[in-house]
Amino acid sequence: MIKKEVDVSAPVHELITGRWSGVSYDPQQMVKDDDLRAMAEAARWAPSCFGDQPWRIIFCSKAGDPEAWQKAFACLAEGNQPWCQHAPVLAIICADSRFSKNDKDNAWGEYDTGAAALSVCLQAGALGLMTHQMAGFSPEDAREAFNVPDRYQPKAMMTIGFQCAQTDIPEEFRQRELAPRQRNPLSENFFLNGWGKGF
């Protein structure tokens, strides 16, 4: 995966800074089920409120089950399909709206599921894989295509695969793929000892 610069005011572990959401997948290189299992294990050990583990993730592998992959692909927004078509794995990430233990509303279902999804991305990075999460899909279509039970909310889809060689990036994605990464200044989102107080 192409290494991109990040501006940081203190050193951060490279597993974290090395992750970014590219769009140029190598259509030839499939992802092994064992690698998907490692990503699932990474998410499995994420923290959650009362240890409830509200996440549910469906991994759809183009090599393993082209029909399932196609069903997932059809849920994507039109704007995402042109680059997602080359991703060997599409995942659907769902959040439980209730606690499994007592069926009461779980106000941390999405919060915890977001953490589990990031664990997938980071473990993917450790395996040399690239991920990209998307809100651009139809939760209704995903629910119908995969018979997702009512209590679970499809919150995001994710592409997983190997990035193609830099020389093979399609012209239409080249600028986007090579653009520098950007974030708010640290002081806009992170405070020390009081709301709005900088480090």
Q: Please report, for residues 60, 91, 129, 139, the alpha-carbon distance to residue 76 in angstroms, rounded to integers and kept in the order given.
A: 13, 11, 21, 9
Q: Is 63 in the site for a second copy (CB under 8 A)?
A: no
Stretch that binds a second copy, among 22-30, 79-87, 109-117, 168-176 (CB under 8 A): 109-117
Q: Is 76 in the site for a second copy (CB under 8 A)?
A: no
Task: Please identify, using beta-carbon distances, which residue of 43 and 87 lies nearer to a second copy.
Answer: 43
Q: What is d(CA 199, CA 187) in angstroms, rounded to the nearest whole number? A: 7
Q: What would the DSSP string read from start to end of 173-184?
A: HHHHHHSPP---
Q: Is 159 helix (H, G, I), strand (E, B) or coil?
A: strand
Contact 27/86 with Cβ under 8 angstroms? yes
Name residues contacting a second copy, limited to 131-170 (CB under 8 A). Answer: 133, 135, 146-149, 155-156
Name residues contacting a second copy, limited to 164-193 (CB under 8 A). Answer: 181-184, 186, 188-193
Q: What is the dihedral of CA 11, 179, 134, 2, to 10 degrees?
A: -60
Binding mask 7-46 for a second copy (x = CB under 8 A): -xxxxxx-xxx-x-x-----------xxxxxx-xxxxxxx
Q: Cβ of residue 106: shortest distance to a second copy, in angstroms? A: 10
| Chain centroid, CA 80 distance in Å | 14
Q: Binder to a second copy among 28, 111, 176, 178 (CB under 8 A)?
A: 111
Q: Is 117 in the site for a second copy (CB under 8 A)?
A: yes
Q: Cβ of residue 84: shortest distance to a second copy, in angstroms? A: 16
Q: What is d(CA 11, CA 157) in angstroms, rounded to the nearest whole number? A: 30
Stretch that binds a second copy, among 22-30, 75-83, 114-122, 168-176 (CB under 8 A): 114-122
Q: Is 58 helix (H, G, I), strand (E, B) or coil?
A: strand
